[in-house]
């Protein structure tokens, strides 16, 4: 099986037509994917195995008036059949490279306290600032 990590850009979003189970939270709508990819500072990489999307990582650059730009890793998902093969790590590496290319000096990601596989992945990357921080999040319906 041929595995590759590909950066999606406007125009090559047709790569996301054959998606393995549980890569995304919901079905991917082509109009939403095209809108996402067309926005400056929005990035997505996918893992392809024999033409099927088996993993995805999405991120957004946050720019601030008082500090350096940072890369927010919004989502990382790998189909259960392809987990524990280093795919998420490769996608994070690709996304970190994109962040550096775009002037980001830091990346951050959050997960639920009980998501042990995600926490193991993130904690295995003991780079500067690679430790978990306390965080409280509020979500508002608009």
Residue 69 lies in a domain: yes
**In the predicted model, what is the mean pLDDT of residues 36-54?**
93
**In the predicted model, what is the mean pLDDT of residues 108-137?**
76
Indicate whether 128 pLDDT > 70. no
> Which of these, 124, 105, 7, lies nearest to 61 by C-alpha position?
105
Residue 105 lies in a domain: yes
Q: How many domains does the chain have?
A: 1
Indicate whether 23 pLDDT > 70. yes
The DSSP result for 15-31, as a single string, is GGGSB-TTSSSSPPPHH
Domain that holds residue 61: 3-124
Residue 66 lies in a domain: yes
Residue 119 lies in a domain: yes
The rounded distance, in Å, linking the Cα atoms of 29 and 24 is: 11
Residue 118 lies in a domain: yes
Which band of pLDDT confidence, cut at 50, 70 and 90, is reported for residue 55? very high
The rounded distance, in Å, linking the Cα atoms of 16 and 14 is: 5
Neighbours of 44 (CB within 10 A): 22
Residue 91 lies in a domain: yes
**In the predicted model, what is the mean pLDDT of residues 51-65?**
94
Report the chain's mean pLDDT, rounded to a whole number: 87
Q: What is the DSSP letter of 33?
A: H
Residue 71 lies in a domain: yes
The rounded distance, in Å, linking the Cα atoms of 6 and 62 is: 22
Say what the pTM is: 0.86
Neighbours of 55 (CB within 10 A): 24
Residue 74: alpha-carbon gap to chain centroid:
6
Residue 103 lies in a domain: yes
Residue 108: phi and psi, rounded to 5, are: -140, 155
Pairing between strand 70-78 and 106-109? parallel
Here the CATH number for the domain that contains residue 52 is 3.40.630.30
**Which of 1-15, 37-51, 89-103, 112-126 bottoms out in mean pLDDT, i.e. has the lowest?**
112-126
């Amino acid at each position: 099986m041929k595995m590759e990590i590909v950066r999606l850009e406007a125009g090559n979003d047709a790569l996301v037509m054959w998606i393995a189970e549980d890569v995304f939270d919901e079905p991917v709508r082509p109009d939403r994917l095209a809108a996402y990819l067309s926005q400056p500072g929005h990035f997505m990489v996918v893992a392809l195995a024999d033409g099927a999307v088996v993993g995805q990582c999405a991120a957004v650059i946050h720019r601030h008036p008082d500090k350096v730009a940072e890369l927010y890793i919004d989502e990382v998902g790998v189909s259960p059949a392809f987990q524990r093969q280093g795919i998420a790590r490769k996608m994070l590496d690709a996304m970190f490279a994109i962040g550096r290319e775009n002037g980001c000096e830091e990346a951050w990601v959050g997960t639920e306290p009980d998501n042990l596989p995600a926490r193991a992945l993130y904690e295995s990357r003991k780079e500067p600032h690679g430790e978990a921080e306390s965080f409280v999040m509020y979500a508002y319906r608009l």
